[in-house]
């Protein structure tokens, strides 16, 4: 049974979401070893008792459960399979949990390479953004062996409230693609609704009171539309990372012979914003597409 008494957790990636997630593990009493490319992003965790590691290799040598949440599939591949990577240098019976949104194909490869070394790999991307990470209310969608999932479930319970085992390796990442496809079209609707309310001379906040709890209700409408109205476009989730996710989903859908017109439109709109310098804004900055 995993517990703070027999587990050292390694955490790689302390960005917008990772910092809060790692903080919950510290508060629960787990010894924590952290690595991120910019050490300053881990300074608060280090001040609160986390141990700093210079490389993923060092994390692999010290931890028996390792969580990663980094930027792109290339980063995931390097962190796990590079010369200083977690699996390259990992120990038998270590649990490795990638919570990055990455490709199902890479998730399967990591699972296979981990298995060769007697390690247990789980792909467990999350949804909920900075708010979900901060409040430990993330949705966690997991793929891999069920026994491995059950072993690390106590850790997931410290990070989220909707934790679902989806199936074999890669299933978590496929589920996250479903999530991103749903969000992509929904964000267009959220932004259009706010713009429409403004052009109709309505108070958008009052409009939200009516539509957020009705059939139009969604997480994005409740949590991101107020940020739009406040002019707050800071990232809970970066546009550049959302474009990465949409590209993965488009590739996977194409491989299955599936048309995704809503996803394709959202990707085109976000790509246009990125070209205008909005790549580091939050996804709610899609509102700027209307350029009023």
202 and 153 both lie in a single domain: no
Confidence of residue 1 (pLDDT cuts 50, 70, 90): confident
Compute CA 195 distance to the chain's CA centroid, rounded to the nearest angstrom. Answer: 28
CA dist 46 → 34, 63, 208, 261 (Å): 8, 16, 40, 45
138 and 52 both lie in a single domain: yes
CA atoms within 13 A on the CB side of 18: 26
* Residue 276 lies in domain: 175-289
Quote the mean pLDDT of the chain: 96
| 29 neighbors 39 (Cβ within 8 angstroms) | no
Residue 292 has pLDDT above 80, yes or no: no
H/E segment holding residue 98: strand 95-98
Q: Is residue 93 part of a domain?
A: yes
Q: Is residue 211 part of a domain?
A: yes
Domain boundary among 151, 169, 187: 169
5-23, pLDDT tens digit by residue? 999 999 999 998 999 999 9
142 and 73 both lie in a single domain: yes
135 and 157 both lie in a single domain: yes
Q: Is residue 218 part of a domain?
A: yes
180 and 156 both lie in a single domain: no
Domain boundary among 128, 145, 169: 169
Q: What is the CATH number of the domain that holds 20?
A: 3.40.50.720
57 and 162 both lie in a single domain: yes
| 85 neighbors 68 (Cβ within 8 angstroms) | no
Residue 180 neighbours by CB under 8 Å, 6+ apart = 101, 242, 245, 246, 249
Confidence of residue 224 (pLDDT cuts 50, 70, 90): very high
H/E segment holding residue 34: strand 32-35
Q: Is residue 105 part of a domain?
A: yes
H/E segment holding residue 26: helix 18-27
pLDDT score recorded for residue 72: 94
228-277, pLDDT tens digit by residue? 999 999 998 999 999 999 999 999 999 999 999 999 999 999 999 999 99
Catalytic residue positions, numbered = 176
Q: Is residue 26 part of a domain?
A: yes
Q: Is residue 55 part of a domain?
A: yes
116-153, pLDDT tens digit by residue? 999 999 999 999 989 999 999 999 999 999 999 999 99
Domain count across the chain: 2
152-196, pLDDT tens digit by residue? 999 999 999 999 999 999 999 999 999 999 999 999 999 999 999
What b/e readout covers 1-37, taking b as 16+ CB neighbours within 10 angstroms? ebeeeebbbbbbbbbbbbbbbbbbbbebebbbbbbbe
157 and 13 both lie in a single domain: yes
14 and 98 both lie in a single domain: yes
Q: What is the CATH number of the domain that holds 208?
A: 1.10.1040.10
Residue 36 has pLDDT above 90, yes or no: yes
Q: Is residue 249 part of a domain?
A: yes
Which residues make beta-bridge pairs with 164? 141
157 and 276 both lie in a single domain: no
Average the pLDDT over 44-68 and give the result: 96
Enter the pTM of the model.
0.93
pLDDT score recorded for residue 57: 95
Residue 200 has pLDDT above 60, yes or no: yes
Q: Is residue 3 part of a domain?
A: no
131 and 224 both lie in a single domain: no
154 and 180 both lie in a single domain: no
Distance separating alpha carbons of residues 224 and 247, to the nearest angstrom:
22
pLDDT score recorded for residue 291: 79
Domain boundary among 101, 134, 169: 169
127 and 161 both lie in a single domain: yes
203-223, pLDDT tens digit by residue? 999 999 999 999 999 999 999
């Amino acid at each position: 049974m995993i517990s703070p008494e027999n587990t050292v957790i390694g955490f790689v990636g302390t960005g917008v979401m990772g910092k809060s997630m790692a903080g919950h593990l510290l508060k629960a009493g787990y010894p924590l070893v952290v690595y991120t490319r910019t050490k300053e992003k881990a300074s608060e965790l280090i001040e609160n008792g986390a141990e700093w590691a210079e490389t993923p290799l060092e994390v692999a040598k010290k931890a028996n459960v390792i969580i990663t949440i980094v930027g792109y599939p290339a980063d995931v591949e390097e962190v796990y399979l590079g010369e200083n990577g977690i699996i390259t240098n990992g120990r038998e019976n270590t649990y490795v949990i990638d919570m990055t949104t990455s490709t199902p194909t890479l998730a399967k490869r990591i699972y296979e390479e981990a298995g060769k070394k007697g390690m247990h790999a789980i792909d467990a991307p999350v949804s909920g953004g900075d708010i979900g990470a901060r409040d430990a209310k993330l949705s966690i969608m997991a793929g891999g062996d069920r026994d491995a999932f059950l072993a690390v479930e106590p850790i997931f319970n410290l990070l989220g409230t909707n934790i679902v085992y989806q199936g074999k390796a890669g299933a978590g990442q496929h589920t996250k693609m479903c999530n991103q496809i749903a969000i992509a079209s929904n964000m267009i609707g959220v932004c259009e609704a706010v713009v429409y309310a403004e052009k109709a001379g309505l108070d958008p906040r009052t409009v939200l009171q009516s539509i957020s709890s009705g059939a139009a209700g969604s997480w994005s409408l409740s949590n991101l539309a107020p940020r739009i109205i406040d002019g707050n476009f800071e990232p809970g989730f970066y546009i550049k990372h959302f474009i990465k996710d949409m590209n993965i989903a488009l590739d996977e859908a194409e491989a299955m012979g599936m048309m995704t017109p809503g996803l394709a439109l959202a990707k085109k709109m976000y790509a246009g914003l990125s070209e205008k310098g909005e790549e580091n804004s939050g996804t709610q900055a899609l509102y700027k597409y209307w350029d009023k």
